[in-house]
């Protein structure tokens, strides 16, 4: 049994050795003060906002500039969709009723923020383990519902679109997370949690808030609520750098 066990364990041990070696013996890299986080976002509404919206999803990215060994200035942009409706309808009346189009209504939150972060992406050569960070930002949240019309040729894209409702409010965000090194010396796994408050109640639409009467008139029934949410971020942070000479 021992030779068999040895033959099974040797590939695992050799693979682990290569991974550890890759973490601790990266090619020398000269890193700049600039980093670029990119992440998928999962929004979890809380408080009164959770009574209207169950979950949101999207992506975000930003730039982080180190101003000291432990402090940086960070700016972020994000997009989260919290619902969409698709329906196929005639393009119009008469001869146009023979042509069907896809009408898509999307509910989304666009965000932007800038602030200060304590804890920076580490140099993998010097610090090959998880590093915590935390920060605070101020910015805005834009709640937008838009509708677009697209034909059967999906590659052509929408040929008409319109914003049905838009409301913008100031936002404050606290966040924290962890950096963990990957095999590439300038790329780190970045997992974080953000908590966002908007400064006032915002007006927004959800699925079912746009209806069409038998007469053909379209009616919007906006909701109004203080919008607060947690956002889970899962992505990577790229450290800008180049191989050392």
What CATH number is attached to the domain comprising 146? 2.40.160.20
- Per residue in 166-221, pLDDT tens? 999 999 999 999 999 887 668 899 999 999 999 899 999 998 888 878 777 778 89
Alpha-helix residue ranges (DSSP H) falling in the chain: 2-24
User: CB pairs under 8 A, 24+ apart, for 53-61?
Assistant: 53/82, 53/83, 53/206, 54/82, 55/82, 56/80, 56/81, 56/82, 56/109, 56/229, 57/81, 58/108, 58/109, 60/111, 60/233, 61/36, 61/37
pTM higher than 0.85, yes or no? Answer: no
- Per residue in 156-174, pLDDT tens? 666 677 888 999 999 999 9
How many structural domains is the chain composed of?
Answer: 1
> How much of the chain, in percent, has pLDDT values that exceed 70?
73
- In eight-state DSSP terms, residue 119 is S
- Per residue in 126-149, pLDDT tens? 555 789 999 999 999 999 999 888
Contact (Cβ atoms closer than 8 angstroms) between residue 89 and residue 105:
no
Cβ burial of 27 (10 Å; 0-12, 13-18, 19+) is: exposed
The whole domain housing 154 covers 2-243
Contact (Cβ atoms closer than 8 angstroms) between residue 91 and residue 62:
no
């Amino acid at each position: 049994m021992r030779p068999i066990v040895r033959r099974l364990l040797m590939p695992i041990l050799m693979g682990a050795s290569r991974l550890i070696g890759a973490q601790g013996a990266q090619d020398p890299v000269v890193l700049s003060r600039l980093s670029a986080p990119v992440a998928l976002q999962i929004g979890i509404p809380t408080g009164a906002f959770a009574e209207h919206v169950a979950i949101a999803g999207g992506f975000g990215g930003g730039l982080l500039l180190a101003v000291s060994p432990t402090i940086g200035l960070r700016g972020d942009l994000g997009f989260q969709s919290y619902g969409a409706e698709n329906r196929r309808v005639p393009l119009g009346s008469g001869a146009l009723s023979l042509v069907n189009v896809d009408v898509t209504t999307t509910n989304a939150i666009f965000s932007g923020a800038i602030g200060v972060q304590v804890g920076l992406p580490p140099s993998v050569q010097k610090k090959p383990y998880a590093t915590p960070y935390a920060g605070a930002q101020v910015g805005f949240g834009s709640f937008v519902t838009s509708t677009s019309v697209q034909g059967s040729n999906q590659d052509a894209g929408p040929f008409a679109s319109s914003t049905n409702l838009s409301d913008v409010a100031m936002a404050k965000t606290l966040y924290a997370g962890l950096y963990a090194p990957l095999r590439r010396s300038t790329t780190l796994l970045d997992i974080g949690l953000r908590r966002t408050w908007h400064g006032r109640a915002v007006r927004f639409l959800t699925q079912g808030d746009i209806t069409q009467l038998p007469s053909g008139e379209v009616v919007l029934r906006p909701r109004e609520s203080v919008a607060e949410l947690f956002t889970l971020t899962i992505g990577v942070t790229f450290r800008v750098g180049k191989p050392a000479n």
